[in-house]
Amino acid sequence: MINNKQYKQPISVLIIVYNNLRQILLLERADKPGYWQSVTGSQEPGETIEQTALRELAEETGIHSDTIHNWHQSSVFEIYPHWRHRYAPGVTHNTEHVFSLCIAADTPVHLAPREHLRYMWCSLEQAIEQVFSPSNRAALWQLPQLW
């Protein structure tokens, strides 16, 4: 337990949000300033992976959607040591499921201030250079196949 909360499950989602102008939404982490990423988050008990993706999208950006594109793709990666305390002892790897969502360019974004400092819209090339996570970068490389 962490502060009377359960440990995070080592199952998460990565949601690439892009707009009709082909700009990518990136969020700067509050707990690691300078670390930019797409929407991410861990699955909670009882949720399907799609429910996790929709919940995280709404919590982190204020964007509500009934549908999201499930890539039916996942990757396993080692959890960074500075975040392992969030998981049960001995958990070192996470399985991340990839989703995407295309929205209108004028859709408002409302950040969760405890999670993110700011957001930006950028080109695919800029997003690939900016994100800190190799799995996020790999997913961004695949995004043009959906356009």
Other CB atoms closer than 10 Å to residue 35's CB: what's the count?
16
Q: Say if 66 falls within a structural domain.
A: yes
Q: Using one digit for the tens of pLDDT, what is the confidence trace for 37-54?
A: 999 999 999 999 999 999
- Is 78 annotated in a binding site? The answer is no
Of 122, 2, 17, whose CA–CA distance to 61 is shortest?
A: 17
CATH number at residue 45: 3.90.79.10
Q: Using one digit for the tens of pLDDT, what is the confidence trace for 133-142?
A: 999 999 999 9
> pTM of this prediction?
0.91
Report residue 30 as tokens: 């509050």
- Is 8 annotated in a binding site? The answer is yes
- Is 67 annotated in a binding site? The answer is no
- Is 115 annotated in a binding site? The answer is yes
Rounded to whole angstroms, how far apart are CA atoms 131 and 34?
9
User: Structural domain tally of the chain?
Assistant: 1
Q: Say if 81 falls within a structural domain.
A: yes
Q: Say if 111 falls within a structural domain.
A: yes
Q: Which residue range forms the structural domain that includes residue 126?
A: 11-146
- Is 40 annotated in a binding site? The answer is yes
Rounded to whole angstroms, how far apart are CA atoms 88 and 102?
35
Rounded to whole angstroms, how far apart are CA atoms 53 and 117?
20
Q: Say if 52 falls within a structural domain.
A: yes
